[in-house]
Amino acid sequence: MSGFPIPPNRKPTLIREFGWAEVWTIVLGIQATIVLSLVAFTGGGIGGLLVAVARTAPVRSLRALAGGFIDFFQGTPMLLQLFLVFYGLPVLGLKVNVWVAAAVGLTLHASAFLGEIWRGGIQAVPGGQSEAAHALGLNYFARMRFVVLPQALRLSFAPTVGFLVQLIKGTSLAAIIGFVELSRAAQLVSSITYKPLLAFGFAGLCYFTICFPLSRMSARFEKRYSIKT
């Protein structure tokens, strides 16, 4: 590097100030965090519904399968789940893309957790509801679609929002496999400005601004209708 001329108006250093460009880097990171959270929450919502229905299905093998899926994701670290997807995609012959790996990993994770939360909701709906629907001649799908699930999902609203907070915080782990979101952006800014306290403090504040209102909302709903999950 000694051959490079140093411009006279620049200090001969690689350390940058913590300026607007750095703030902007972190703000762009927030965007990625939110998009990743929404993708995982949507995907996990669909997957979770399937898991919850399978977990309460009248077919024993289906219940066991869903149970195993839930136990695996609740009993292993989220970081390792991301690693497995990240290093597992090439095993399946697919190209690795951190975006896809993070989205797939978080979606699977969310499917298991939302599945377990909604399983609790489904079982909290009084059995008479399902029996009454049965007596009215509704088949299994109609009973689930029109009678059980609407009540179950409403009962599960508080823990669902609570899990969304977990998921948003969990997206930070995508930073470790190299996906540039809020935490990774803060890491980059920290290493070019040498102001880690400011960078990570600011990143923490950003997460807090997103998560705190959601936590409050979850707590408010929990008081209104509390159920065991």
Instruction: Provide the binding-site residues for another protein, judged by CB under 8 A.
Output: 71-72, 74-81, 83-84, 87-88, 90-93, 165, 169-173, 175-176, 183, 186-187, 190, 195-197, 199-201, 203-204, 207-208, 211-212, 215
Give the CA distances from residue 179 to residues 71, 175, 204, in Å, rounded to whole numbers and listed in that order.
27, 5, 18
Give the CA distances from residue 71 to residues 47, 66, 76, 83, in Å, rounded to whole numbers and listed in that order.
15, 9, 8, 18
Q: Which is nearer to another protein, 25 or 215 (CB)?
A: 215
Question: What is the Cα–Cα distance from 215 to 165, expressed in whole angstroms?
Answer: 7
User: Largest Cα–Cα distance in the chain?
Assistant: 86
3-state DSSP assignment of residue 147: helix
> To the nearest whole angstrom, how small is the minimum distance from the Cβ of residue 77 to another protein?
4
> To the nearest whole angstrom, how small is the minimum distance from the Cβ of residue 42 to another protein?
20
Question: What is the Cα–Cα distance from 25 to 178, expressed in whole angstroms?
Answer: 15
> To the nearest whole angstrom, how small is the minimum distance from the Cβ of residue 202 to another protein?
10
Give the CA distances from residue 6 to residues 1, 185, 191, in Å, rounded to whole numbers and listed in that order.
10, 27, 21
> To the nearest whole angstrom, how small is the minimum distance from the Cβ of residue 106 to another protein?
13
> To the nearest whole angstrom, how small is the minimum distance from the Cβ of residue 155 to another protein?
19
> To the nearest whole angstrom, how small is the minimum distance from the Cβ of residue 105 to another protein?
12
Q: Which is nearer to another protein, 1 or 197 (CB)?
A: 197
Q: Which is nearer to another protein, 77 or 128 (CB)?
A: 77
Q: Which is nearer to another protein, 79 or 138 (CB)?
A: 79
Q: What angle do CA 169, 212, 123 make, to 5 degrees?
A: 75
**CA-wise closest residue to 130 among 61, 56, 227:** 56
Q: Which is nearer to another protein, 70 or 148 (CB)?
A: 70
Q: Which is nearer to another protein, 150 or 204 (CB)?
A: 204
Question: What is the Cα–Cα distance from 115 to 82, expressed in whole angstroms?
Answer: 19
